Structure 1
């Protein structure tokens, strides 16, 4: 069950990388303005399962090699390695989870929080299962069988066996285990998928009882959320899934156009054709190398591809001339608008300067008045003091 669920996690991660991460990278590489859509990444779950130091599968192989190790040894090591993890947890008393394991303790089980839900795993018998293999003698006898299917299969299995797999010979990597074989097979599958142009089909269960004509909305919605399907739909709706290189359109039609049209840069040439076919500005973005279009908005290219060029070219030329005139008018308007903005700014700066100068002059006048008043008060005080002294002198005489 762990192998099945881990394979599902790897396929889910492949889906996320092929849909979300690849989409973000495409926008980034072409300089497209884009608001990323948040989605649930399961990379941390994969690390718990296959991480080199503390992953479940490496830990299982490590315990299998240890002398006198038991299934409880494996459980204890897993809980110790992931004591602070929120993905691999100890089973709750009396709990079971989706795995249906009732009343298991942390000495014999653990809970994994998969992208599709929590699953309880019992490790009882894991060491024996992981080491489960036919003896070398049996394999040799079967490989020597006269039954074509048997000897071919086992001969092929022997050829694919990793070095050191038959008994941990010196310089090898230890005996082959079920988990090692499974991980190698899974890697081969993912490598093959990575080399493809992937498309995806989501299988959604209508109910958990496997009954016909019964659809439970909440059950279906949970699957859509966990699988990232809702986010993928939002990505298609908000994103620009159709991408066409400028050169592909430019090369096909430029030779039929007048000189002034041929002289247009490829991006402007493509934009002109898109606008000529009524594509709205919000339905496309111009990247560095491609035009990015919303879903269904690239249909005009099919019309172009199937159109009679003798009939279509005059229409395109007319539309492109209109586009050119509008663009030239836009440039003039922008230039005039920019001139108006600068003139307005200059007027504001001049007004601010005038007001500042008036304020400074007013301040200077106020300062001068204050200084004059202080001088007048001092003169008046001196005159009073002198008059008082004259009065005193006359009285003494």
Structure 2
């Protein structure tokens, strides 16, 4: 909230607007800004006094209220965003740190001192983790490397936060709780840091004393007046109580858990809070892999379209960007241990064909390849022997040297290094200086080499994946054909089974119907006064069985009818009744035989078969059925079996 006050009326308007936004009474806000509450406690009672504030104290209270509101709102916003994007289980994260840049104004105070101190710590982290450790690793891995000088800002950081640094003096001055003057603070700072090469002080006493610090980005002058008061960070309790009792629920929730400094307890200053927060940030940065983005000012006057080349170069040199570019150009951006390199890129060796030929049959290209291998591996062997003589050598194999060399001719470490060299040769071709990239435990890759290795590996993986896909599709096709064949066989079996059941049912119905028809014929014959005998005969000979199968296994029936015959007319043909003939014809249809157009009778026997026209010779004996068979006088006669039967009288 910013208000331009020109008169008392404008002051009242601003007061009403501010109290409305904060959700408090205007009189309460006015009293909190213009009166200071003093509490005096005794053994029996506690007295509270309200003392009017002067103009400077009133301005300080106004600024304190605005800063406290901004701080609490910022903390709430950060907490709200983190609560929305956080997960239950944290494996890794990607953080974006946007830090304020280096500041240098005409009048610089505690705010600029804290901001520039944070930039010094971040620059120290950059120097330690990129420039210093990188070159130390090259030396440790026994790589040929020329040391590059860089600006180390550790002395400047120690000047600010050391045991006798400027921060320690300001924090101690606040904790002493005594009246102090600007001259006293200047004397303590000048006495403590006078001999430091990054510290400057004025040659004579001034009305507004200052001191200067040589930062990595330039020299900045800081005003001593106001440093102690700003470092105390005293938030009046009456302001906090007013905001806690606000009618605005959001503002009241911001200050619900806010605690003011209690009497008798050690106060935590602004520098102490800022330093502890920055230490936590640096701890997080040290546990992660950081990437840096440098922002450069084009000119000192912040004018658009104006580019000051000399000023930009000064910033690049101060930030260590020039040294970073030189180290990156001469160094190795990627560093991979040998075992991990072989595990990831060893597949490239398998893609190369091997030729087992005799020395006499080797071509000229094969001999050139052997020469290249000698030029590549011989310096590598010498480098490996040199590196083994250094301290902290890589762990050797547990197998004794004699047995290991008898098996492979190489040690385990040397074998892994030569596999890495073979991969590098396949991808990049023969390079005489390739052995310079081999360290004691790691392989160092130049700019662009890692991308080429990844491309070669991805090409092989794509080819192998295509082969696997083809085999899988072929398997799926065979599986689909097998499934279709099984389904076709199963469907055929189900259809045949259903048809067989239907056919059996039809045959059962036909047999039942034929039996019913035969019974009807028998009933009709019995009504005419004749004796009809229906016999079921099964085929016995193979010819009869074939005939039976051709007629759908329908049984044949023979119908015989006996009528009473006189002795005088027994040799005469007896004609059956028309009704009996019709019944026999229907019976022939029911048993599946062709329709008979005639029925023959001979010697009292009615039959749909042809009767014999020759002499029949009977060889008979008496039995239960033919009791008088042996009384026949003529053994040969043209007659039927009715002559041998006793006289039959119809009922």
Residues in 1 aligned to 2:214 and 2:324: alpha-carbon distance in whole angstroms = 22
2:328 paired residue number: 236
1:380 paired residue number: none
Once the two structures are overlaid, the 10-residue window that deviates more, 37-46 or 190-199, is 190-199
SS in 2 for 1:274: helix
Q: Cα offset for 1:222?
A: 0.6
2:428 paired residue number: 278
**Cα displacement string for residues 92-147 of structure 1 (whole angstroms, at most 9, x for unaligned residues):** 56xxxxxxxxxx73972111111111111111111111112213454455456575
Contact 2:336 2:442 in 1 (8 A): yes
2:218 paired residue number: 117
Contact 1:90 1:106 in 2 (8 A): no
Q: In structure 2, list runs of 5 or more residues that go unmatched.
A: 1-111, 355-406, 465-651
Instruction: Determine which of 451, 464, 479 is the counterpart of 1:299.
Output: 451
Contact 1:167 1:175 in 2 (8 A): no
Residues in 2 aligned to 1:287 and 1:156: alpha-carbon distance in whole angstroms = 57
Q: TM-score, normalised by structure 2?
A: 0.41
The count of aligned residue pairs is 292
Say if 2:286 is the partner of 1:134: no
Contact 2:296 2:315 in 1 (8 A): yes
Contact 1:166 1:176 in 2 (8 A): no
2:146 paired residue number: 35
Say if 2:274 is the partner of 1:178: no
Residues in 2 aligned to 1:74 and 1:87: alpha-carbon distance in whole angstroms = 19
SS in 1 for 2:437: strand
- Residues 265 and 106 of structure 1: CA distance in aligned 2, closer, same or farther (over 3 Å): farther
Residues in 2 aligned to 1:16 and 1:123: alpha-carbon distance in whole angstroms = 30
Say if 2:130 is the partner of 1:19: yes
Q: Cα offset for 1:22?
A: 2.6
- Residues 247 and 129 of structure 1: CA distance in aligned 2, closer, same or farther (over 3 Å): same
Contact 1:243 1:292 in 2 (8 A): yes
Say if 2:194 is the partner of 1:83: yes
1:269 paired residue number: 419
Q: In structure 1, list runs of 5 or more residues that go unmatched.
A: 94-103, 313-397
Q: Cα offset for 1:80?
A: 0.2
Instruction: Determine which of 32, 44, 51 is the counterpart of 2:162.
Output: 51
Q: Cα offset for 1:201?
A: 0.7
Larger Rg computed on CA atoms: 2
Q: Cα offset for 1:36?
A: 2.4
**Cα displacement string for residues 126-181 of structure 1 (whole angstroms, at most 9, x for unaligned residues):** 111111221345445545657565455445665xx9xxx64453xxxx21111111
Contact 2:427 2:453 in 1 (8 A): no
Residues in 1 aligned to 2:246 and 2:287: alpha-carbon distance in whole angstroms = 37
Residues in 2 aligned to 1:247 and 1:192: alpha-carbon distance in whole angstroms = 29
**Cα displacement string for residues 227-252 of structure 1 (whole angstroms, at most 9, x for unaligned residues):** 10000000101111111222223224
SS in 2 for 1:308: helix
Q: TM-score, normalised by structure 1?
A: 0.65
Residues in 2 aligned to 1:112 and 1:63: alpha-carbon distance in whole angstroms = 20
Q: Which has the higher contact order (CA 8 A, sep 6+)?
A: 1
- Residues 135 and 231 of structure 1: CA distance in aligned 2, closer, same or farther (over 3 Å): same
- Residues 71 and 230 of structure 1: CA distance in aligned 2, closer, same or farther (over 3 Å): same
SS in 1 for 2:447: coil
Instruction: Determine which of 32, 42, 60 is the counterpart of 2:170.
Output: 60
Contact 1:9 1:115 in 2 (8 A): yes
